[in-house]
């Protein structure tokens, strides 16, 4: 069973297969389109992965800069989003090097990536969150928005940070940095319970794969938080 970082380095196909089954009721794209004006805007996206979130707004935006630490994930995103090739630029960048960039945007968005960076620096959560928020703020044009999506639990009954590091991350965003939180239901739907166990087990580990609580056949509950702040 590969680690999560091995998945990001070598298994973009399997990652993409997982997220293709997530949020089958499309609550995330609906929320993003209703709450943020992407039309004609420049967007910076960090931790782009295979580009599933980029697809939700790229058609509306004028210019999109996509970053990720993994060239392998960006390669898959670039293939998947080839129809928008004239307006998306893909570059390798670690979330801790955002201050080295020289681009600005109306919207800075990231999904399920800063949480990794915060967890990788668990002895300095306050400092790491501060750096991520400040570096994103600097890249934002006046009147722009910061939009962070992170997990509030997979295969769980109610929305809750899945571990202490993420709990502390969310508290910093809300308490110190003035972000507001919205909770979305982002349940997975698979063709069968066996598919769910295989695909989710590959990413979340065999233990979750063999202990899925199906709300209906092929449906696994999940909650996602959207943290947002206007500058
Ligand atoms: C859970 S995936 C999320 C991908 C995408 N945002 C999505 O919605 O599917 C996490 C992504 O963050 C990237 N990542 C993890 N740590 C990173 C870091 N320190 N700097 C930049 N990217 C990082 C990984 O390579 C991976 O593509």
Segment-wise mean pLDDT, segments of 10 residues, the chain, 231 residues: 93 97 98 98 98 98 98 98 97 98 97 98 98 98 97 97 98 98 98 97 94 95 97 84
DSSP letters, 147-170, are: EEEEEEEES-SS---SSHHHHHHH
> Distance (Å, rounded) from C-alpha 185 to C-alpha 222?
6
Nearest to 45 by CA among 81, 88, 82: 88
C-beta of 56 in contact with ligand 1 (< 6 A): no
Over the stretch 149-165, which tens digit does the pLDDT of each residue have? Answer: 999 999 999 999 999 99
C-beta of 145 in contact with ligand 1 (< 6 A): no
Cα of 44 vs centre of ligand 1, distance in Å, is 14
**DSSP-derived secondary structure letter, 106:** E
Cα of 18 vs centre of ligand 1, distance in Å, is 14
pLDDT at 1 (0 to 100): 81
Domain span at residue 87 reads: 4-230
pLDDT at 231 (0 to 100): 84
Partners of 108 in the β-ladder? 44, 146
pLDDT at 87 (0 to 100): 98
Kindly report the CATH number assigned to the domain that includes residue 218. 3.40.50.150
Q: How many domains does the chain have?
A: 1
C-beta of 204 in contact with ligand 1 (< 6 A): no
Task: Specify the pTM.
Answer: 0.98
Going along 59-196, which residue ranges are E strands? 63-68, 88-92, 105-111, 140-154, 180-185, 188-189
**DSSP-derived secondary structure letter, 205:** -
The residue contributing the CA closest to ligand 1 atom 13 is 47
Cα of 128 vs centre of ligand 1, distance in Å, is 16
Nearest to 113 by CA among 80, 64, 148, 160: 148
Share above pLDDT 70 across residues of the chain, in percent, rounded to a whole number: 100
Residues near 212 by beta carbon (within 8 Å), at least 6 away in sequence: 155, 193, 196, 197, 200, 220
C-beta of 6 in contact with ligand 1 (< 6 A): no
Cα of 193 vs centre of ligand 1, distance in Å, is 27
Question: For 159, phi and psi rounded to 5 degrees?
Answer: -70, 125
């Amino acid at each position: 069973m590969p680690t999560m970082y091995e998945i990001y380095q070598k298994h973009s196909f399997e990652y993409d297969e997982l997220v293709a089954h997530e949020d089958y009721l499309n609550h995330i794209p609906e929320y993003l389109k209703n709450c943020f004006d992407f039309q004609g805007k420049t967007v910076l996206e960090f931790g782009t992965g295979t580009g599933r979130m980029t697809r939700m707004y790229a058609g509306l935006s004028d210019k999109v800069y996509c970053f990720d630490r993994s060239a392998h994930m960006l390669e898959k995103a670039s293939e998947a989003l080839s129809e928008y090739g004239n307006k998306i630029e893909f570059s390798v960048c670690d979330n801790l090097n955002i201050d080295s960039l020289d681009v600005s945007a109306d919207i800075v968005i990231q999904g399920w990536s800063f949480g990794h960076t915060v967890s990788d620096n668990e002895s300095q959560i306050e400092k790491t969150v501060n750096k991520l928020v400040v570096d994103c703020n600097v890249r934002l044009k006046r009147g722009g928005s910061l939009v962070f999506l992170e997990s509030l639990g997979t295969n769980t009954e109610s929305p809750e940070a899945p571990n202490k590091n993420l709990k502390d991350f969310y508290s910093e965003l809300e308490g110190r940095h003035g972000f507001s939180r919205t909770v979305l239901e982002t349940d997975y739907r698979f063709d069968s319970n066996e598919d769910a166990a295989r695909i989710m087990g590959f990413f979340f580990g065999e233990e979750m794969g063999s202990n899925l609580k199906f709300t209906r056949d092929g449906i696994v509950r999940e909650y996602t938080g959207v943290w947002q702040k206007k500058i």
